[in-house]
Amino acid sequence: MTISTIKELLDAEVLCSEDSLSRHVYSACGCDLMSDVLAYVKDQGVLLTGLVNPQVIRTALMMDILAIVFVRSKMPTEEMLELANENGIAILSTDKRLYEACGILYSNGLVGNKVKS
């Protein structure tokens, strides 16, 4: 699924790296705990979160996440947008709640990562 498709499905606003909208993501993670993102996220993906702090961008960089969607109309700081833009991470914001946004993406074919037991 392209980041552009995610934007459309979630009726999201693109806040930076608009030139990345044609990139493909293969999985999604909805999470506010960056330690869980570090433990479970694989592949090129999109992170959906309501957590707004610079650690979100740094975590995305470490995990090769291509896009971050802030839910509940959360808005990142200018510092966060600059860091994301410098590293080509698309930042979007939607008014949808985390559960709803994840459900929309999942029902349209974007899967999560398998958790090994």
Q: pLDDT tens digits, residue range 21-75?
A: 999 999 899 998 888 888 777 777 899 999 999 999 999 999 989 999 999 999 9
Asked, for residue 86, whether it belongs to a domain, the answer is: yes
Per-residue pLDDT at 115 exceeds 60: no
Query: Distance between alpha carbon 80 and the CA centroid of its chain, in Å?
Result: 13
Q: In what order do the strands lie in the sheet with 90-93?
A: 13-16, 90-93, 67-70, 45-49, 27-30
**Structural domain includes residue 54:** yes
Instruction: Answer with the residue of higher pLDDT: 85 or 114.
Output: 85
116 contacts: CB under 8 Å, gap ≥ 6? none
Using the predicted structure, report yes or no on whether residue 100 has a pLDDT greater than 90. yes
User: Does some domain include residue 100?
Assistant: yes
How far is 108 from 6, CA to CA, in rounded Å?
A: 10
- In this structure, is residue 114 part of a structural domain? no
* Average pLDDT value for residue range 87-93: 96
In a domain, 18, yes or no: yes
CATH number of the domain encompassing residue 13: 3.40.1390.20
Cα gap 87→67, rounded to integer Å: 11
Q: Which domain holds residue 78?
A: 3-107
Count of domains for the chain:
1
Q: Enter the pTM of the model.
A: 0.92
- Per-residue pLDDT, averaged over 99-110, amounts to 95
Establish if 20 belongs to a structural domain: yes
